[in-house]
Amino acid sequence: MKTYKVLTVCLGNICRSPAAQGILEKTAANHNVFLELDSAGTAAYHVGNPPDPRSIAALHQANIDISNQKARQVREEDFHYFDWIVAMDKANLMNLRKIQPKGSRAHVVMFGEFTDDVHFGEVDDPYYGGEEGFSAMREHLANISESFVLHLKTQQ
């Protein structure tokens, strides 16, 4: 069975992309799809830090543990290594496209492209809001992950 390498990307790599990684891992296991996963940020503000405690708590409610992840910044090799690099919002996507080396292998797309759910494919940044934003993020990411994994299944 083919293994897909997928990198989830947001700005700080402490709220959305670590959550996306954790949810994708669970969704893929449910569908017997093999994924090698990592997450990264376009910015370096939080390099080395664990995910935001509010993201850890929101995922814990879905029995997903993301507390061992550590933030890192996207690097050039990622575009050669991963099959898919999925961005949480348009600014992330634009920043990724700016540094994407020509001829690299990764499909660089909006993660939200894989569902017609809310907000034109963007996963809203919950960082400056309250805890309800983190639950909404979890549910949105779960919908997208389901569609994304089903998309991968159609390619097998």
Q: Which residues are known catalytic residues?
A: 10, 16, 125
Residue 8 one-letter amino acid = T
Which residues in 21-55 are b (16+ Cβ under 10 Å) and which e?
bbbbbebbeeeebebebbbbbbeeebeeebbbebb
Contacting ligand 4NP within 119-148 (CB under 6 A): 125, 127
Considering the complex, state which of residue 9 and residue 152 has its C-beta at the smaller distance from ligand 4NP.
9
- Name the residue nearer to ligand 4NP (CB basis): 41 or 114: 41
Least distance to ligand 4NP, CB of residue 14, Å:
4
How far lies 116's CA from each of 65, 100, 111, 147, in Å? Answer: 27, 26, 11, 10
Which residues ranging from 31 to 50 are in contact with ligand 4NP (CB under 6 A)?
45
Q: Which stretch binds ligand 4NP (CB under 6 A): 6-14, 60-68, 74-82, 106-114?
A: 6-14
User: Between residues 3 and 61, which has the closer beta carbon with respect to ligand 4NP?
Assistant: 61
Q: Is 11 exposed, middle or buried (0-12, 13-18, 19+ CB in 10 A)?
A: buried
Query: What does the alpha-carbon distance between residue 119 and residue 125 come to, in Å, rounded to a whole number?
Result: 12
Q: Does 10 bind ligand 4NP (CB under 6 A)?
A: yes
Q: Which residue is nearest to ligand 4NP (CB)?
A: 12
